[in-house]
Each structure stands twice: as C-alpha cells, then as structure tokens.
A = this chain, B = another copy of it.
Amino acid sequence: MRSPSKAAPPAMRADARKNYEHLLAVARKIVLKEGVDASLRDIARKAGVGLGTLYRHFPTREALLETLLRTEWDELIAKARALEGAGAPDEALVSWLRDFVAAVRTYRGVVTSMTSAFADETSALHASCAAIRAVCNQLLVRAQTEGTARNDLDGTDLFALVGALAWIGDQPALASRAGALFDVVMGAVFDGRALPPKKTAQLRPAGVF
C-alpha cells in the first residue's frame, strides 16, 4: 500500500532503497549549500553510508546531479508543453527561460555541469540537457515565426545566453543584478518585428573576437 515514491529507482531491496532515499536527502542538503563540487566523501560520511554505496547508486557526480534535478527537469518540460499552444509566443518563451534560469540556479555551479554535458553523450546529464534544449527550441521557433524573436539565434544560442545569466546569478558579487540583466539580454533576443538584417551593424568587426 506504499505510495509509489516519485522518481524512485526500479526494483530495489528494502534496505537498499532506504539507503538510497536517505543518501539523496543528505546529498540535496549538502549540494544546496556547497554547490556541485561538494565532497562526495563528505556526503557519504554525513549520510552514514560507505563510500562504495554512494558510488553504486550514483556512479558519477553527474548521475547524482541528474537525480537531484529530476523534479526541476520534469517541471520545466511540463511547463513548456503547457505554454506551447497558449498565450503570446514571446511572453511564453521569456517566462519559460526565466524558470529555466531559476531551476538551474537551484544548485550553484550546475549550469557549468550542464554545459559540459551538452556535448558529452556519455554524461548522465546529457539526456536531460538534450530534452531541455529541445523544448526550449520549440518555444523559440514559435516566438520566431509567430512572435518577434530574432531569427538569427537557435536553441543553443539561447541556452548559452541563459546559461550565462545563470552564471551571473552564481557569482555572489553579481547576483543582485541577475534579474535586471536577464531583462536586458531578453531585450536583445526580441529586437523587434521582422528583424533588420544587421541590428548590431553599428558594432562592426563582429566575427573573430
């Protein structure tokens, strides 16, 4: 009669599941405080569990992060689906991106982990990254065809910009301006109808840098 513990792993012996659940709770608390580079040893220690146990449940640090962020990913994807057909395309995209930044900022440094996982198919975070990028891309395409999003950007560009904003939020010295700068950058993503071929033409050299 036990309720199906959300996102719990498949068949698992009772004692193992208990370990797993507790480990995850402790890990969440520690990573929340220390960020993604928290000591795995410390997590195992504080959870009262052998190091090997942690490693079997989460063979890599990314696997642990992936599990810690499971809920956030699911909510982001659900939200994207909800926004897809409804409301103004531009507002839908911005609203979703804002949530994305908030989700990524749950744990300090996670945006850098995600970016690494982006191009690394062997990473436990890769699948989530790809899924997130896919829904992001859909929202973007709609905002480009039906809204005013500039069409010289793709999903990866948006991911980069929003990741960069999350990075700002991760820096204590800059975090207080993260919200305002989010708006500034969004202003650049929607640069007005039909987008003139070179909005940034005044800036010249471009390219190399």
Residues of A within 8 A of B (CB): 90-91, 94-95, 98, 101-102, 112, 115-116, 118-119, 152-153, 156-157, 159-161, 163-165, 167-168, 171-174, 177-191, 199-200, 202-209
Q: Are A116 and B179 in contact (CB under 8 A)?
A: no
Minimum CB–CB distance from A19 to chain B (whole Å) comes to: 32
The residue that A185 contacts in the complex, of B159, B185, B204, with Cβ under 8 A, is B185
21 A–B contact pairs at CB < 8 A?
A98-B205, A115-B174, A116-B171, A118-B173, A119-B172, A119-B173, A152-B180, A156-B177, A157-B181, A157-B184, A159-B174, A160-B181, A163-B168, A164-B164, A179-B206, A179-B207, A180-B206, A183-B206, A184-B189, A187-B199, A190-B203
A177 close to B160 (CB less than 8 A)? yes
Contacts of A188 in B (CB 8 A): 184-185, 187-188
- How many copies of this kind of chain does the complex include? 2
Knowing that A179-B209, A187-B200 touch, tell me 5 more A-B residue pairs with CB under 8 angstroms: A91-B203, A119-B172, A157-B177, A185-B188, A190-B202
